[in-house]
């Protein structure tokens, strides 16, 4: 269509609204996705850079859990009995703790999310397979309703000549954790 002397040429539509719309949608998905991850995986209410270290029998909070470590006992060569006993590569250290849900909905405590620290920068993972063999396996994977608490043990398989100096306890595998000195 050719313009007549009295008509202006047709205007090109701007692509700016499309660009802004797509950019806004991407930003919303990114932010919304982060909120969904926090809702699903748990949140860490421990501020970044927090260096507070708690001690035995002192409540320490990470996310929606309050941990109170009461005892660390090392030197066990195996857990369980008979042919199904689980033998340590080094020695088992059993950490007794109470975990309280301080949130407003049920949360799952997972022994596998807990870590132990030895001398220097050495970190030890919890041994979930060994934790199952404990008399009180309340700490392997347990749902805790709001306001409730469980007391159980978490097993760590560490070298025979090593010692656990502190624990890094987590609300979930993605939380920041809280430190508890045990030595």
Evaluate if residue 23 carries a pLDDT over 60.
no
Q: Which residues pair with 73 in a beta bridge?
A: 94
Q: Which CATH class is domain 53-181?
A: mainly beta
Quickly count: other Cβ atoms within 10 Å of residue 33's Cβ: 10
Evaluate if residue 21 carries a pLDDT over 90.
no
Evaluate if residue 26 carries a pLDDT over 70.
no
**Given this model, what pLDDT does residue 33 score?**
46
Residue 137 · residue 152 · CB < 8 Å: yes
Query: Largest Cα–Cα distance of the chain, in whole Å?
Result: 102
CA–CA dist 85, 61 (Å, integer)? 34
**Given this model, what pLDDT does residue 42 score?**
46
**Given this model, what pLDDT does residue 170 score?**
97
pTM of this structure? 0.71
Q: How far is CA 116 from the centre of its chain?
A: 14
Evaluate if residue 46 carries a pLDDT over 90.
no
Q: Quick: pLDDT tens for 117-171.
A: 999 989 999 998 888 777 665 566 889 999 999 998 999 999 999 999 999 999 9
Residue 57 · residue 74 · CB < 8 Å: no
Strand arrangement of the beta sheet that strand 149-158 belongs to: 60-62, 65-79, 86-101, 149-158
**Given this model, what pLDDT does residue 128 score?**
83
Quickly count: other Cβ atoms within 10 Å of residue 128's Cβ: 17
CA-based angle 183:107:67, to the nearest 5?
Answer: 20
Q: Quick: pLDDT tens for 70-109.
A: 999 999 999 888 887 889 999 999 999 999 999 999 999 9
| Per-residue pLDDT band at 30 (split at 50, 70, 90) | very low
Domain boundaries, the chain: 53-181
Evaluate if residue 68 carries a pLDDT over 70.
yes
**Given this model, what pLDDT does residue 130 score?**
82
CA–CA dist 92, 4 (Å, integer)? 92
């Amino acid at each position: 269509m050719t313009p007549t002397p009295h008509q202006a040429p047709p205007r090109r539509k701007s692509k700016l609204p499309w660009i802004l719309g797509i950019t806004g949608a991407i930003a919303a998905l990114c932010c919304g996705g982060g909120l969904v991850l926090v809702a699903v995986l748990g949140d860490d209410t421990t501020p970044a850079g927090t260096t507070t270290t708690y001690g035995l029998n002192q409540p320490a909070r990470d996310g929606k859990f309050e941990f109170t470590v009461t005892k660390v006992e090392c030197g066990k060569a195996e857990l369980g009995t008979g042919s199904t006993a689980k033998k340590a590569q080094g020695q088992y250290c059993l950490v007794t703790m109470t975990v309280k849900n301080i949130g407003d909905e049920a949360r799952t405590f997972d022994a596998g999310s807990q870590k132990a620290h030895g001398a220097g920068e050495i970190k030890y993972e919890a041994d979930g397979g060994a934790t199952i063999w404990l008399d009180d396996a309340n700490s392997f994977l347990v749902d805790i309703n709001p306001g409730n608490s469980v007391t159980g043990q978490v097993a760590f398989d560490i070298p025979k000549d090593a010692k656990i100096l502190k624990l890094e306890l987590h609300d979930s595998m993605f939380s920041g954790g809280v430190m508890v000195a045990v030595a």
